[in-house]
Amino acid sequence: MSKPQPLSGFPELLPRHRIVEQQVVDHLRHAFELHGFANVQTRSVEPMDQLLRKGETSKEVYVLRRLQADDANSDAGLGLHFDLTVPFARYVLENSGKLQFPFRRYQIQPCWRGERPQDGRYREFWQADIDIVDRDTLPAHYEIEIPLVMADALRGLPLPGITIHVNNRKLSQGFYEGLGIGDPEETLRIVDKLDKIGEEAVVRELQEKVGASLDQAEKCLALAKISSTDTSFADEVRALGVKGDVLEEGLEALTELVEVANKRAPGLVRADMSIARGLDYYTGTVYETFIDGQRDLGSICSGGRYDTLASDGKTSYPGVGISLGVSRLLVPMLRAGRLDASREVPTCVLVALSDEESRWEASDVAAKLRERGIAAQVAPAAQKYGKQIKFADKRGIPFVLFPATEEGGPEVRDIRSGEQEPVDLDSWTPPAADLKPGIVAAE
Amino acid sequence: MSKPQPLSGFPELLPRHRIVEQQVVDHLRHAFELHGFANVQTRSVEPMDQLLRKGETSKEVYVLRRLQADDANSDAGLGLHFDLTVPFARYVLENSGKLQFPFRRYQIQPCWRGERPQDGRYREFWQADIDIVDRDTLPAHYEIEIPLVMADALRGLPLPGITIHVNNRKLSQGFYEGLGIGDPEETLRIVDKLDKIGEEAVVRELQEKVGASLDQAEKCLALAKISSTDTSFADEVRALGVKGDVLEEGLEALTELVEVANKRAPGLVRADMSIARGLDYYTGTVYETFIDGQRDLGSICSGGRYDTLASDGKTSYPGVGISLGVSRLLVPMLRAGRLDASREVPTCVLVALSDEESRWEASDVAAKLRERGIAAQVAPAAQKYGKQIKFADKRGIPFVLFPATEEGGPEVRDIRSGEQEPVDLDSWTPPAADLKPGIVAAE
């Protein structure tokens, strides 16, 4: 077998980069749990009819087939999920009798899309989602809480600054309806492409595809250009002269969100009427998150409120959620060297080996350290001590421990300073910063 | 959409069971890291030629196809991995220039096999693997270390007792060669089926498929029936009168393993000549692990030494590893109610709400608790306090905190005892056992 090549769109990390990813995910997980979110893990596959039910994602789905199946389509009923929202909605319906509502859950898993890999988009990528789902009705305060929880979870991580851009479907759709536009949903999808296709094309498509007049199309564009970090957006929207109950509901909801967020997390949110979200299922607040100064990279954390995604006909389970693109955020930073781990192994102490016969005694020494939570491994071979120290050095293992010999008791060496001193195996503890590898952020 | 039904072979857990699974996985992860194993996460897909390269697994692979691909086979070059060993071997080759050898890694991910779901076998299942891979040569002491690490990782978990059954390919193959049997690998595969097809069928197949004489076939069977928890197996094997250098090498290696393991983890291993492992790539020690008294459930933790799995023609990377079937072990125990979580949410404290207007003040109280690592959430609505306490009770949240009102300072109530007392928000800490949900094992 010749040397394998990476598969485009399926990023894999070296061990030291994986340490960073793992610590970021652990940090998120801990934060979500502090906020009372329970973890759920759904299977990787869904029936194809589920996957194709909503939104414009059908082209991206990976269909499964068993290699030995009788014909090429015999197993084509299953595909890999392309997000964590659709599987979660299905999970809620399937287990509705066994879950307590409102149900707060987080989910951190890979998703798959058969897209052309480009622009930080991957064919396999990890997402971290939080959602709150209730039965029949969902209080609006969860639409405010969700972005605050995500921001809280990201706090303390060495990541670039972000702003969560918020809008409300009621505001946009109410505005289009107030304007007299016939197909508000298609209008949303066209406005959603503003960043990609530009203003002129949006105005043209609105005229061609939803039959808007030039004046209507320009008002839609004018709405999309309104944006503020305070609540002044509402007056700007009203100044466009469109009226309607749904629009007013949207304005009030978004105003409250901005007010609360500005008190609790100043600088976190921006009301931004260009945020539309392509997916059909959103019905209230919608979120997209941009790294400050890098909106061209696209949203790294998106979501919104959905009222009808999970419904069995009798009961509906409205929800609101937000999804962090873990791979999308981290992989480019890791590849650019902007994040790294302080060492590439969990090992804190290498137990040196004087001769091969003493391997299992050295192993007892390592076990003693592990009992007190200190990661330790025994040297692979009884080479010269200089070589064993080099072994530790290459991996960033900070300490080498020399077990007791006939000449004297055990000693521990900090291989960075070269300082070596006698050690009591039952009490010695490394400095807290050395116990586990940490994340190092480049300037 | 009507109520969805579970997919056979794709187990999913309720939140409280997921807590158990997550804590077991965290426990394993922590233990592997204490032993200096670095985590690796490989992509879910491998090129089909990789997946079909070794062993008898081709029939089980799930092939991927993009739904919108031009023809049914255009993307058929990729399949979902069926274990974590093949992807790891590919990862080692692909990144050989960037890894430090010997390389100790653990990997905890789902695998997929399109088998008929039955007998505790799933189509999607989680495995936890540890492997040590070196360049060119791999010292034999790692074959002893690997099962000891896995046993150490399982220690402290509320799981049934296990025994790791060990054999050595050199012993079996050397024995068959010494006997004069022409196809030792096919012989191994036939002997591997002993549990499934029985003694008679093994003897018959050995005669029919590898041309063994009745005497040779019966000697193979006699070998497979040798088993001991001490090193007495070696004399029993030698008593069968077969000789050869490879056989002797295998006997010595297995004897050393049993000796060391019996000192370091008494009762853990059993030398068992019936352990053959179906896969082609093993070349030294092999492991299978049975729950005590339940060998019929099959092995929950298997592996072995492989010398040629990862080789680019110039350099080879011999390794040894063992793979714990996390789903296979846990899902039946969870479904049988033998393991459970002490509550179904991470929340330790529910902050009660006197009226909807005070939601964000209550939220400040929750934030204060979270700063000190106490998981807290605010009640979903300002219902009567009795209802809010019931909300906590239904989820197993142990404490309800009533924020300060005009009448008095904040109070905390242990809803199990009903005791309620004034609380200092800056210092109150729940008992350690209540801070997070724990695993509860049924008698």
CA pair distance A91, A103, nearest whole angstrom: 12
Secondary structure class of A183 (helix, strand, coil): coil
Query: What's the pLDDT score for residue B278?
Result: 66
Would you say A292 and A161 are in contact if contact means Cβ atoms under 8 Å apart? yes
> Is A325 domain-assigned?
yes
Query: What percent of chain A is modeled with pLDDT above 90?
Result: 81
CA pair distance B412, B430, nearest whole angstrom: 10
Last residue of a domain, one of B309, B340, B371: B340
Q: Of all helices (H) and strands (E), which one includes residue A213?
A: none
Do residue A330 and residue A387 come from a single domain? no
Secondary structure class of A371 (helix, strand, coil): helix
What is the residue type of A255? T
Would you say A274 and A243 are in contact if contact means Cβ atoms under 8 Å apart? no
Closest residue on chain B to A344 (Cα): B38
Query: What's the pLDDT score for residue B119?
Result: 64
Q: What is the pLDDT of residues B225-263, one digit of tens each?
A: 999 999 999 999 999 999 999 999 999 999 999 999 999
Q: What is the pLDDT of residues B180-193, one digit of tens each?
A: 998 988 999 899 88
Chain A contact for B370 (CB, 8 A cutoff)? yes
Q: B172, B174, B281, B282: which is closest to B221 by C-alpha?
A: B172
| Band of pLDDT at residue B369, cut at 50, 70 and 90 | very high
The answer to whether the Cβ–Cβ distance between A60 and B66 falls below 8 Å is yes
By mean pLDDT, which of A119-133, B135-149, B384-398 is the weakest? A119-133
Do residue B250 and residue B356 come from a single domain? no
Closest residue on chain B to A125 (Cα): B43
The answer to whether the Cβ–Cβ distance between B15 and A112 falls below 8 Å is no
Range with the largest mean pLDDT of A48-62, A270-284, B308-322: B308-322
Query: What's the pLDDT score for residue A269?
Result: 98
User: Which of B62, B94, B371 best tests the A interface by mutation, with the highest count of A CBs <10 A?
Assistant: B62
Do residue A204 and residue A274 come from a single domain? yes
Query: What's the pLDDT score for residue B54?
Result: 62
B182: domain range? 15-340
- The alpha carbon of A107 is separated from its chain's Cα centroid by a whole number of angstroms, namely 9
Please report, for residues A106, B122, B275, the alpha-carbon distance to residue B219 in angstroms, rounded to integers and kept in the order given. 57, 36, 16
Do residue A123 and residue A32 come from a single domain? yes
Do residue B315 and residue B371 come from a single domain? no
Mean pLDDT of the region A67-84: 74
Query: What's the pLDDT score for residue A77?
Result: 87
Chain A contact for B84 (CB, 8 A cutoff)? no
In the block, residue with structure tokens 């197996």: B233
CA distance B115 to chain A (A): 9
> Is B6 domain-assigned?
no
> Is B10 domain-assigned?
no
Residues 6+ apart with CB under 8 A from A33: A39, A106, B346, B375, B436
Chain A contact for B39 (CB, 8 A cutoff)? yes
Query: What's the pLDDT score for residue B105?
Result: 98
Chains A, B: CB contacts within 8 A come to 238
The answer to whether the Cβ–Cβ distance between B67 and A114 falls below 8 Å is yes
Please report, for residues A319, A418, B110, B130, B248, the alpha-carbon distance to residue A286 in angstroms, rounded to integers and kept in the order given. 12, 56, 32, 43, 70
In the block, residue with structure tokens 């306090």: B385
Chain B contact for A344 (CB, 8 A cutoff)? yes
The answer to whether the Cβ–Cβ distance between B18 and A40 falls below 8 Å is yes
The answer to whether the Cβ–Cβ distance between A40 and B33 falls below 8 Å is no
Is residue A75 over pLDDT 60? no
User: Which of B24, B33, B80 best tests the A interface by mutation, with the highest count of A CBs <10 A?
Assistant: B33
Out of A43, A93, A98, whose CB is closest to B10? Answer: A43
Do residue A151 and residue A177 come from a single domain? no
Residue B94, number of CB atoms within 10 A of its CB = 19
Closest residue on chain A to B375 (Cα): A34
Taken in order B226, B231, B236, B242, the sign of the CA dihedral is positive
The more confidently predicted of residues A227 and A117 is A227
CA distance A246 to chain B (A): 23
> Is B399 domain-assigned?
yes
Sheet strands side by side (includes B45-47): A45-47, A78-80, A62-66, B62-66, B78-80, B45-47
Chain B contact for A347 (CB, 8 A cutoff)? yes
A414 forms beta bridges with A399
| Residue A91: both structure tokens together | 């999970």
Query: What's the pLDDT score for residue B58?
Result: 55
| Band of pLDDT at residue A311, cut at 50, 70 and 90 | confident
Residue A14: its chain B contacts at CB < 8 A?
95, 98-99
Q: A141, A269, A128, A157: which is closest to B377 by C-alpha?
A: A141
CA distance A4 to chain B (A): 5
Query: What's the pLDDT score for residue B1?
Result: 63
Do residue B294 and residue B197 come from a single domain? yes
Residues 6+ apart with CB under 8 A from A336: none
B214 forms beta bridges with none
Do residue A258 and residue A274 come from a single domain? yes
Residues 410-429 of A with CB under 8 A from B: none
The answer to whether the Cβ–Cβ distance between B38 and A91 falls below 8 Å is no
Q: What is the pLDDT of residues B58-85, one digit of tens each?
A: 568 898 988 776 555 555 589 999 999 9
Do residue A131 and residue A199 come from a single domain? no
The residue length of chain A stands at 443
Is residue A55 over pLDDT 60? no
Would you say A305 and A283 are in contact if contact means Cβ atoms under 8 Å apart? yes
Last residue of a domain, one of B318, B340, B362: B340
Would you say A415 and A434 are in contact if contact means Cβ atoms under 8 Å apart? no
Q: What is the pLDDT of residues A394-430, one digit of tens each?
A: 999 999 999 988 888 899 999 999 999 999 999 999 9
Residue B236, number of CB atoms within 10 A of its CB = 16
Please report, for residues A92, A93, A315, B14, B340, the alpha-carbon distance to residue A97 in angstroms, rounded to integers and kept in the order given. 9, 8, 11, 11, 18
What values do phi and psi take at B83, rounded to 5?
-155, -175
| Band of pLDDT at residue A281, cut at 50, 70 and 90 | confident
The answer to whether the Cβ–Cβ distance between A38 and B58 falls below 8 Å is no
B57: alpha, beta or left? (left if phi > 0; alpha if psi -120 to 50) = alpha
Is the ipTM here above 0.90? yes
> Is A177 domain-assigned?
yes
CA pair distance A241, B333, nearest whole angstrom: 63
CA pair distance B264, B283, nearest whole angstrom: 25
Do residue B316 and residue B401 come from a single domain? no
Residue B79: its chain A contacts at CB < 8 A?
67
Would you say B40 and B107 are in contact if contact means Cβ atoms under 8 Å apart? yes
Helix-then-strand count for chain A, H and E: 15, 19
Would you say B273 and B171 are in contact if contact means Cβ atoms under 8 Å apart? yes
Q: B442, B409, B415: which is closest to B430 by C-alpha?
A: B415
Number of domains, chain B: 2
CATH of the domain at B372: 3.40.50.800
Residue A43, number of CB atoms within 10 A of its CB = 23
CA distance A5 to chain B (A): 6
Chain B contact for A26 (CB, 8 A cutoff)? no
The answer to whether the Cβ–Cβ distance between A3 and B94 falls below 8 Å is yes
Q: A159, A168, A155, A166: which is closest to A35 by C-alpha?
A: A155
> Is B5 domain-assigned?
no
CA pair distance A228, A234, nearest whole angstrom: 9
Last residue of a domain, one of B286, B317, B340: B340
What values do phi and psi take at B421, rounded to 5?
-150, 160
Do residue B401 and residue B373 come from a single domain? yes
CA pair distance A36, A39, nearest whole angstrom: 10
Query: What's the pLDDT score for residue B443?
Result: 65
| Residue B246: both structure tokens together | 């490879």
DSSP A372: T
Chain A contact for B315 (CB, 8 A cutoff)? no
Out of B65, B112, B311, whose CB is closest to A65? Answer: B65
CATH of the domain at B317: 3.30.930.10
The answer to whether the Cβ–Cβ distance between B41 and A18 falls below 8 Å is yes
Is residue B269 over pLDDT 90? yes
Chain A contact for B342 (CB, 8 A cutoff)? no
CA distance A203 to chain B (A): 30
User: Which of B8, B16, B34 best tests the A interface by mutation, with the highest count of A CBs <10 A?
Assistant: B34
Do residue B266 and residue B389 come from a single domain? no
> Is A169 domain-assigned?
yes
The answer to whether the Cβ–Cβ distance between A2 and B312 falls below 8 Å is yes
Residues 117-136 of B with CB under 8 A from A: 124, 134
Mean pLDDT of the region B387-397: 97
> Is A300 domain-assigned?
no
